[in-house]
Amino acid sequence: MYAPNSMPTHGWAPLPEDVATLGAAGADQAVAYLAHREHNDPTPLHRLDGLADELGVGSVFVKDEGYRLGLGSFKALGGSYVVTRLVLEEAARRLGHPVDVGDLQTDAVRAVAATMTFACATDGNHGRSVAQGAQLVGAEAAIFMHGGVSDERVAAIERFGARIIRVDGSYDDSIIEAARVAEAEGWTVLSDTSWPGYEAIPALVSQGYTVLVRESLDAMIAPPTHVLVQAGVGGFAAAVAGHLAAVLGADRPHVIVVEPERAACLFASNAAGGIVTVPGAEPTVMAMLECYQPSPLAWRVLERVADGFLTLSEDESPAAMRRLAQPAAGDPPIVAGESGVAGLAGLVQLTADPELRRQTGLDDHAIVLVINTEGATDPELYTTLVGSTPEQVLSAEGSAPS
């Protein structure tokens, strides 16, 4: 189901404070931090001409975050980045002199980090990033996970030495519990969603995501005319849409936000003209997007610069996974997780409907960018949905990018 932005905001820019975070200067800050990480090369940007021909658009580009910093997800750009920033800020405060990312492995800074615990709620990928960041700097991590998170994703976080705390209920319940326990224990909450009085850290998480948008623009001959971006609470979608609006201005692309219909809190908020919480339903296969209340910070950006909102049925995401795993002639195979492929699934839905194609301008001149936000972060589920293992899919190409 598709709906255009209900607010008369087309062509508006983000607020100045959001431009400061998500624009060029904010991306510069994130890039500078990431330059000190190992395996920090830009992730692949695939041009799928065969798929573009099938869908009747000019070109389709897929930014493949399945190779990001060895973590398998775009979330590596958020949580671990903010852990680093917060440790350095606290070290500067305690040591009484400025410190920068080059000082991160000094004994003095690591001694400060060892006294800090970072807490967050997660469906899997954000928690993995926070846990990785904490391990890299010598801090502790406490990751709150609801019962719907798979054992495979729990194990992936435990490998970074994090403490796992299981919570009854949904992702939204785990957010509340993480904040409650962190306050009682004196831990630092590192959430990717915001609430009244808590915006600075989620804003930095989104700032980290602008790196992949910059990389995409740098790798494309011409900027995209259309971007379809998936959303849970909306922080990632806001980072993408906000950065594009900030750096491209009037030439920004048409941005469509894509959600599972079972957890379409941004779609519902657009219909209501303001933030609403949707009732919990059956779990969605797009587990990383299973969020029932938008981040107010993200909504502030998206209500201004998103052009439309789209929901996906449960079968559309697995179909798009298989489409990338068994690509059109000439296109490379891509391993995309069930949430990672949502933007492409949205593109397939829109181009299959002549009226929606017309409304959104998806014609044979359209330059479309979608972002594969995760690889096979749950390999067993991936194999079940696709019918092949990730290794079998990539073997058709020979080898995966490093």
Q: How far apart are CA 288 and CA 385, in angstroms?
A: 16
Q: Which two tokens stand for residue 26?
A: 């904010």
Q: Determine whether 346 is exposed, middle or buried from the number of CB atoms within 10 Å of its CB (0-12, 13-18, 19+).
A: buried
- Phi and psi of 70, rounded to 5°? 70, 10
Active site residues: 75, 123
Closest CA to 290 of 154, 158, 169, 120: 169
149 contact partners, CB below 8 Å, separation of at least 6: 122, 123, 124, 287
Q: DSSP states of 34-97 as a string? A: HTTSTT-PPPPEEE-HHHHHHHTSSEEEEEEGGGGGGTTBGGGGTHHHHHHHHHHHHHHHHHTS
Q: Is 258 left (phi over 0), alpha (psi -120 to 50) or beta?
A: beta
Instruction: Identify the bridge partners of residue 355 per DSSP, sorted by sequence position.
Output: none
Helix (H, G, I), strand (E, B) or coil at 296: helix
Chain centroid offset of residue 145 CA: 18
Cβ–Cβ < 8 Å for 174, 181: no
